[in-house]
Amino acid sequence: MCWSATADLVAGTGIVCIGTACVARVRRAGDLPLAALPLLLGAHQLIEARVWQLGGGTGPATLAWAVIALPLLALWVPVAVLCAAPRRARARLTIPLAAGVATAAALSYALATRTVRAEIRGHTVGYALGLTHGQLLVAGYLLATVGALLLSGDRRLCVFGVLAGVGALVCFVLWRTEFVSTWCAVAAVCSVTVLGWVWRRPGWSH
């Protein structure tokens, strides 16, 4: 989330460019899902730019934003980390993966049975879905995403996890006070981190 349609558009375009560079640099098939994460984050920002332009509401842009933010990322991140992780880390990564599967299933059901609404609140966009067991879902989401990165066994991905966790906390506080949405800045920093990770990955092993 960003503080305006223009900010979302600029951030989303920049992040998509970073994602394109990440994918172009990939030398191992298992690294591709994680390398493509900035493309997903950039598309997410571009979709929210459209939500801003429409003044919120319950249309397709709002639903697309929620699908990416909620079930898709909860599943994408642990699967991507598992694909890229060294063998020694894969057993422990089944924990965030299981959390991601369960959380994504619950969030998908909520999106299928409820209407998600976006509301412009000054320099923020609020999204309402009426989730039950919200705290449990947040815990599962963080375990699946941040937890997978921290348990990856890769130093750079651990740094990514710390940045994502701290950034999410700061963004949440600013968003709850309806001061300003800053997630696009965190997404940009995280995308650069992914680019650095891809750039230093080894090539194909024979």
66-97 residue pLDDT tens? 999 999 999 999 999 999 999 999 999 999 99
Question: Scanning the structure block, which residue is given the tokens 């558009």?
Answer: 9
DSSP 120: E
- pLDDT tier at 124 (50, 70, 90 boundaries)? confident
- Indicate whether 121 pLDDT > 50: yes
Cα-Cα end-to-end distance for the chain: 42
Q: Averaged over 127-141, what is the pLDDT?
A: 90
Q: pLDDT per residue over 95-108, tens digit each?
A: 999 999 999 999 99
- Whether the Cβ atoms of residue 189 and residue 163 lie closer than 8 Å to each other: yes
In the structure encoding, which two tokens stand for residue 42, read together? Answer: 């950039």
pLDDT for the residue 168: 80
Res. 177: pLDDT tops 60: no
Tell me, what's the pLDDT at 3?
74
Amino acid 179: pLDDT: 46
Q: Which helix (DSSP H) or strand (DSSP E) does residue 109 occupy?
A: helix 94-113
The average confidence (pLDDT) of the chain is: 90
pLDDT at residue 206, as a whole number:
33
